[in-house]
Amino acid sequence: MLEVWGRRNSINVQKVLWCCEELDLAYCLVEAGGPFGRTADPEYRALNPTGLVPTLVDDGIVVWESNAIVRYLARRHGAGTLWPDDAQTHARAESWMEWQTTVWLRLRPAFIGLIRTPEGERNAARIESAVETTAGHMRLLDSHLAKHDYVAGPEFSMGDIPIGATVSRWLRLDISRPPTPALTAWEKRLAQRRAYTDMVSSIPLS
Protein backbone atom coordinates (compact mmCIF):
# COMPACT_ATOMS: atom_id res chain seq x y z
CA MET A 1 0.00 0.00 0.00
CA LEU A 2 1.14 3.53 -0.74
CA GLU A 3 2.31 5.69 2.15
CA VAL A 4 1.71 9.43 1.93
CA TRP A 5 3.49 11.43 4.61
CA GLY A 6 1.93 14.80 5.36
CA ARG A 7 -1.09 16.63 6.75
CA ARG A 8 -4.49 17.09 5.12
CA ASN A 9 -4.55 20.90 5.31
CA SER A 10 -1.34 21.30 3.28
CA ILE A 11 -1.90 22.38 -0.32
CA ASN A 12 0.93 20.13 -1.47
CA VAL A 13 -0.36 17.09 0.40
CA GLN A 14 -3.85 17.74 -0.95
CA LYS A 15 -2.54 17.49 -4.51
CA VAL A 16 -1.23 14.00 -3.80
CA LEU A 17 -4.33 12.79 -1.94
CA TRP A 18 -6.57 14.15 -4.70
CA CYS A 19 -4.49 12.28 -7.28
CA CYS A 20 -4.65 9.04 -5.27
CA GLU A 21 -8.43 9.35 -5.00
CA GLU A 22 -8.82 10.05 -8.73
CA LEU A 23 -6.86 6.88 -9.46
CA ASP A 24 -8.71 4.87 -6.78
CA LEU A 25 -5.42 3.92 -5.14
CA ALA A 26 -5.23 2.44 -1.66
CA TYR A 27 -2.97 4.52 0.56
CA CYS A 28 -2.12 5.19 4.17
CA LEU A 29 -1.72 8.79 5.33
CA VAL A 30 1.13 9.05 7.82
CA GLU A 31 0.47 12.33 9.60
CA ALA A 32 3.54 14.54 9.53
CA GLY A 33 4.40 18.21 9.37
CA GLY A 34 2.88 21.17 11.20
CA PRO A 35 1.42 20.12 14.57
CA PHE A 36 2.29 16.48 13.91
CA GLY A 37 6.04 17.09 13.73
CA ARG A 38 8.15 14.11 12.58
CA THR A 39 9.69 15.93 9.61
CA ALA A 40 12.91 16.63 11.54
CA ASP A 41 13.23 13.01 12.65
CA PRO A 42 16.09 10.99 11.12
CA GLU A 43 13.54 8.46 9.83
CA TYR A 44 11.79 11.14 7.79
CA ARG A 45 14.94 12.92 6.65
CA ALA A 46 16.17 9.59 5.29
CA LEU A 47 13.13 9.62 3.03
CA ASN A 48 13.03 13.35 2.25
CA PRO A 49 16.16 15.43 2.90
CA THR A 50 14.21 18.71 2.61
CA GLY A 51 12.15 18.02 5.71
CA LEU A 52 9.01 19.16 3.91
CA VAL A 53 5.77 17.35 3.09
CA PRO A 54 4.55 15.42 1.22
CA THR A 55 6.62 12.33 0.69
CA LEU A 56 5.36 9.23 -1.13
CA VAL A 57 6.62 5.71 -0.46
CA ASP A 58 5.49 3.18 -3.05
CA ASP A 59 6.86 -0.35 -2.59
CA GLY A 60 10.34 0.97 -1.79
CA ILE A 61 10.22 3.84 -4.30
CA VAL A 62 10.42 7.23 -2.58
CA VAL A 63 9.24 10.42 -4.27
CA TRP A 64 9.08 13.93 -2.81
CA GLU A 65 7.93 17.32 -4.14
CA SER A 66 4.18 17.33 -4.73
CA ASN A 67 4.07 17.89 -8.49
CA ALA A 68 6.70 15.20 -9.00
CA ILE A 69 4.53 12.80 -6.97
CA VAL A 70 1.45 13.65 -9.04
CA ARG A 71 3.42 12.98 -12.22
CA TYR A 72 4.77 9.70 -10.84
CA LEU A 73 1.32 8.42 -9.84
CA ALA A 74 -0.28 9.56 -13.08
CA ARG A 75 2.40 7.88 -15.17
CA ARG A 76 2.35 4.63 -13.20
CA HIS A 77 -1.38 4.29 -12.66
CA GLY A 78 -3.16 6.72 -14.99
CA ALA A 79 -1.80 6.21 -18.50
CA GLY A 80 -4.31 7.54 -20.99
CA THR A 81 -6.31 9.41 -18.34
CA LEU A 82 -4.43 11.57 -15.85
CA TRP A 83 -1.28 10.92 -17.90
CA PRO A 84 -2.29 12.01 -21.44
CA ASP A 85 -1.13 9.85 -24.37
CA ASP A 86 -1.19 12.68 -26.90
CA ALA A 87 2.14 14.53 -26.94
CA GLN A 88 0.65 18.02 -27.26
CA THR A 89 -1.92 17.42 -24.53
CA HIS A 90 0.74 15.97 -22.27
CA ALA A 91 3.08 18.91 -22.87
CA ARG A 92 0.28 21.35 -22.06
CA ALA A 93 -0.43 19.57 -18.78
CA GLU A 94 3.27 19.66 -17.87
CA SER A 95 3.54 23.35 -18.71
CA TRP A 96 0.61 24.36 -16.54
CA MET A 97 1.91 22.24 -13.67
CA GLU A 98 5.17 24.18 -13.82
CA TRP A 99 3.22 27.43 -13.99
CA GLN A 100 1.37 26.54 -10.81
CA THR A 101 4.54 26.59 -8.73
CA THR A 102 5.10 30.24 -9.69
CA VAL A 103 1.50 31.21 -8.96
CA TRP A 104 1.52 29.61 -5.51
CA LEU A 105 4.71 31.51 -4.63
CA ARG A 106 2.91 34.73 -5.57
CA LEU A 107 -0.28 33.85 -3.66
CA ARG A 108 1.33 32.32 -0.58
CA PRO A 109 2.12 35.64 1.21
CA ALA A 110 -1.57 36.58 1.04
CA PHE A 111 -2.62 33.11 2.20
CA ILE A 112 -0.20 33.13 5.13
CA GLY A 113 -1.11 36.71 5.99
CA LEU A 114 -4.87 36.22 5.94
CA ILE A 115 -5.16 32.66 7.24
CA ARG A 116 -2.20 32.03 9.53
CA THR A 117 -1.34 35.49 10.86
CA PRO A 118 -3.29 37.25 13.65
CA GLU A 119 -5.08 40.31 12.29
CA GLY A 120 -3.02 42.78 14.31
CA GLU A 121 0.24 41.35 12.96
CA ARG A 122 -0.63 41.30 9.25
CA ASN A 123 1.43 43.15 6.66
CA ALA A 124 -1.37 44.74 4.64
CA ALA A 125 0.90 46.04 1.90
CA ARG A 126 2.45 42.64 1.37
CA ILE A 127 -0.95 40.96 1.25
CA GLU A 128 -2.27 43.52 -1.22
CA SER A 129 0.77 43.12 -3.46
CA ALA A 130 0.41 39.33 -3.45
CA VAL A 131 -3.29 39.54 -4.31
CA GLU A 132 -2.67 42.01 -7.14
CA THR A 133 0.14 39.94 -8.64
CA THR A 134 -1.85 36.72 -8.37
CA ALA A 135 -4.86 38.35 -10.01
CA GLY A 136 -2.80 38.86 -13.17
CA HIS A 137 -1.93 35.16 -13.24
CA MET A 138 -5.56 34.20 -12.70
CA ARG A 139 -6.66 36.37 -15.60
CA LEU A 140 -4.12 34.52 -17.76
CA LEU A 141 -5.55 31.18 -16.66
CA ASP A 142 -9.07 32.47 -17.27
CA SER A 143 -8.16 33.37 -20.86
CA HIS A 144 -6.77 29.88 -21.40
CA LEU A 145 -9.81 28.17 -19.89
CA ALA A 146 -12.11 30.20 -22.12
CA LYS A 147 -10.78 27.97 -24.92
CA HIS A 148 -10.40 24.66 -23.07
CA ASP A 149 -12.63 22.76 -20.63
CA TYR A 150 -9.55 21.69 -18.65
CA VAL A 151 -6.01 23.00 -18.53
CA ALA A 152 -4.60 20.45 -20.99
CA GLY A 153 -7.61 20.22 -23.30
CA PRO A 154 -11.09 18.71 -23.30
CA GLU A 155 -10.42 16.11 -20.58
CA PHE A 156 -9.36 16.27 -16.93
CA SER A 157 -5.68 15.41 -16.46
CA MET A 158 -2.81 15.62 -13.99
CA GLY A 159 -2.39 19.26 -15.03
CA ASP A 160 -5.64 20.26 -13.33
CA ILE A 161 -4.65 18.93 -9.91
CA PRO A 162 -1.95 21.39 -8.79
CA ILE A 163 -3.78 24.36 -10.28
CA GLY A 164 -7.11 23.27 -8.84
CA ALA A 165 -5.66 23.12 -5.33
CA THR A 166 -4.29 26.64 -5.79
CA VAL A 167 -7.44 28.12 -7.31
CA SER A 168 -9.53 26.65 -4.50
CA ARG A 169 -7.57 28.77 -2.05
CA TRP A 170 -7.72 31.84 -4.27
CA LEU A 171 -11.51 31.64 -4.51
CA ARG A 172 -12.01 31.09 -0.77
CA LEU A 173 -9.83 33.90 0.54
CA ASP A 174 -11.64 37.02 1.77
CA ILE A 175 -10.23 39.29 -0.94
CA SER A 176 -11.36 41.27 -3.97
CA ARG A 177 -10.91 39.34 -7.22
CA PRO A 178 -11.31 40.32 -10.86
CA PRO A 179 -14.09 38.60 -12.85
CA THR A 180 -12.84 35.28 -14.20
CA PRO A 181 -15.91 33.52 -15.63
CA ALA A 182 -14.07 30.72 -17.43
CA LEU A 183 -11.94 29.95 -14.38
CA THR A 184 -15.02 29.94 -12.16
CA ALA A 185 -16.83 27.58 -14.53
CA TRP A 186 -13.81 25.28 -14.57
CA GLU A 187 -13.70 25.19 -10.77
CA LYS A 188 -17.39 24.26 -10.78
CA ARG A 189 -16.54 21.35 -13.06
CA LEU A 190 -13.87 20.30 -10.60
CA ALA A 191 -16.42 20.52 -7.79
CA GLN A 192 -18.40 17.75 -9.49
CA ARG A 193 -15.48 15.41 -8.80
CA ARG A 194 -15.70 13.68 -5.43
CA ALA A 195 -11.92 13.57 -5.04
CA TYR A 196 -11.64 17.35 -5.36
CA THR A 197 -14.39 18.09 -2.87
CA ASP A 198 -13.22 15.46 -0.37
CA MET A 199 -9.51 16.26 -0.50
CA VAL A 200 -9.44 19.99 -1.29
CA SER A 201 -12.48 22.25 -1.34
CA SER A 202 -14.26 20.87 1.74
CA ILE A 203 -11.20 21.15 3.98
CA PRO A 204 -11.13 24.45 5.91
CA LEU A 205 -8.27 26.81 5.10
CA SER A 206 -5.67 26.71 7.83
The tens digit of pLDDT for each residue in 169-199 reads 999 999 999 999 999 999 999 999 999 999 9
Provide the residue type at 167 as one letter: V
Q: What confidence tens digit (pLDDT) does each residue in 4-63 have? A: 999 999 999 999 999 999 999 999 999 999 999 999 999 999 999 999 999 999 999 999
Alpha-carbon gap, residue 157 to 18, rounded angstroms: 12
The answer to whether the CB of 48 falls within 8 A of the CB of 64 is yes
The answer to whether the CB of 64 falls within 8 A of the CB of 52 is yes
pLDDT of residue 30: 98
pLDDT of residue 171: 98
Q: What confidence tens digit (pLDDT) does each residue in 70-113 have? A: 999 999 999 999 999 999 999 999 999 999 999 999 999 999 99
pLDDT of residue 131: 98
Q: What confidence tens digit (pLDDT) does each residue in 123-133 have? A: 999 999 999 99
> With 0-12 CB in 10 A as exposed, 13-18 as middle and 19+ as buried, what is 182?
middle
Q: At what angle do helices 87-111 and 160-172 cross, to 10 degrees?
A: 30
Alpha-carbon gap, residue 65 to 50, rounded angstroms: 9
Please state the rounded mean pLDDT for residues 157-177: 98
pLDDT of residue 153: 97
Domains with residue ranges and CATH for the chain: 2-77 (3.40.30.10), 87-196 (1.20.1050.10)
pLDDT of residue 150: 98
Bond into 54 cis (ω within 30): yes
